[in-house]
Amino acid sequence: MTEQLSPTGRFDRVLLATDGSDFSAGAVRAGIELAQRCGTKLNVLTMVLTNPEYAAIAPQLEERAELEALQIIEGVKTQADALGVTCEGRIRHGEDPAREIIEEAESGHYDLIIMGRRGKRRLARWMVGHATVQVIGGAACPVLVVPRAASLPNRRILLATDGSRYGDAAAAAAASLSSHCRLPVCVISVIKPGHSEARRAEATQVVERISRLLAREGIEVEGRVGEGRPEEVIADTAKSVEADLIIMGSHGRTGFERILLGSVSERVIGLADCATLVVSR
């Protein structure tokens, strides 16, 4: 990344994906609050899980699922209306929730997907729902993962970066959200025990570079280098600095393919009590 922040990080078109369960409650709150703060419309997506064979055998069950989906959207609209947020609902039919979310996000050219950490299907890896992992791995835009007890940040943003291009994209998103929400940012880069002094110096340089760029945007910023297991250090640091949002890249310096979610990102989502924004590009 050169000595400027890229335009990545605009959140003009926001897609909230919800299954209507308690696990989505935090995502719904965050979606409405973000749309209110940014002065943008909130687009709500929910799914009717079905397939042609299922629809032919039990059409009445599909009709019931369609009604439930409409009720989910109306429930979000009611909450949004109370805060003066314009809300538009969409229902997609299919067998794979993650695929439907990704395709809706791509067709609508969304800047951000908001969803819960897990869904009512309760399929989880590292406490993170299967659909959530798949959406982060496959979506072209950032994904904000919100635990059910969390909400949009009001105190501080923790930006975790390793100097990779994903980390730089996360920095741009942090700059955008910090400006919208008027929040300070703590920048952290984590090294593992046994790393060389050269690696420590590199981490320090990354933190200083990102901190300098954020400061140029008028953002209150502090930087630090942590040592230990990255996911644990990041989650613990979020608590110690009272950050209520973690922003990080979907992958690190090892260069995973986009279809796979980097293990550190996934573990941070599972460990953190607050929302995590994962940036893929």
Note whether 189 and 207 are within 8 A (CB). yes
Largest interatomic CA distance in the chain: 66
Q: Which residue has the higher pLDDT, 252 or 139?
A: 139
Q: Which of 30, 44, 53, 181 has the alpha carbon at shortest distance from 105?
A: 44
* Exposure class string for 182-203: b at 16+ Cβ within 10 A, else e: ebebbbbbbbeeeeeeeeeebb
Residue with tokens 């965050």: 30
Structure tokens at 260: 């796979």
**Segment 190-208 mean pLDDT:** 90
- Whether 164 and 80 map to the same domain: the answer is no
Confidence class for position 86, pLDDT limits 50, 70, 90: very high
Of 25-39, 176-190, 239-253, minimum mean pLDDT range: 239-253
> In this structure, is residue 80 part of a structural domain?
yes
- Whether 70 and 163 map to the same domain: the answer is no
Q: Which residue has the higher pLDDT, 136 or 256?
A: 136
Q: Which amino acid does the sequence have at 119? A: G
Note whether 266 and 126 are within 8 A (CB). yes
Residue 196 above 60 pLDDT?
A: yes
> In this structure, is residue 3 part of a structural domain?
no
> In this structure, is residue 75 part of a structural domain?
yes
Mean model confidence pLDDT for the chain? 85
Residue 124 above 50 pLDDT?
A: no
Confidence class for position 79, pLDDT limits 50, 70, 90: very high
Residue 8 above 60 pLDDT?
A: no
Rounded CA separation 169/14 (Å): 18
- Whether 58 and 124 map to the same domain: the answer is yes
- Whether 178 and 73 map to the same domain: the answer is no
Confidence class for position 176, pLDDT limits 50, 70, 90: confident
- Whether 21 and 132 map to the same domain: the answer is yes
**Segment 99-120 mean pLDDT:** 89
Which residue among 146, 178, 201 closes a domain? 146
Domain carrying residue 43: 14-146
Residue 55 above 80 pLDDT?
A: no
Q: How many domains does the chain have?
A: 2
Residue 2 above 50 pLDDT?
A: no
Rounded CA separation 137/280 (Å): 8
Structure tokens at 180: 């919208």
Note whether 131 and 121 are within 8 A (CB). yes
Rounded CA separation 63/52 (Å): 13
pLDDT in tens, 238-271: 999 999 999 998 765 444 333 334 578 888 998 9
Confidence class for position 45, pLDDT limits 50, 70, 90: very high
Question: CATH number of the domain that 242 lies in?
Answer: 3.40.50.620
Which residue among 146, 178, 203 closes a domain? 146
Rounded CA separation 172/232 (Å): 24
Main-chain phi, psi angles of 86, to 5 degrees: -75, 135
- Whether 85 and 209 map to the same domain: the answer is no
Q: What is the CA radius of gyration of the chain?
A: 19
- Whether 56 and 114 map to the same domain: the answer is yes
Residue 131 pLDDT: 86
Residue 4 above 60 pLDDT?
A: no
Residue 38 pLDDT: 82
Residue 1 pLDDT: 41
- Whether 40 and 140 map to the same domain: the answer is yes
**Segment 80-105 mean pLDDT:** 94
- Whether 139 and 225 map to the same domain: the answer is no
Confidence class for position 120, pLDDT limits 50, 70, 90: low
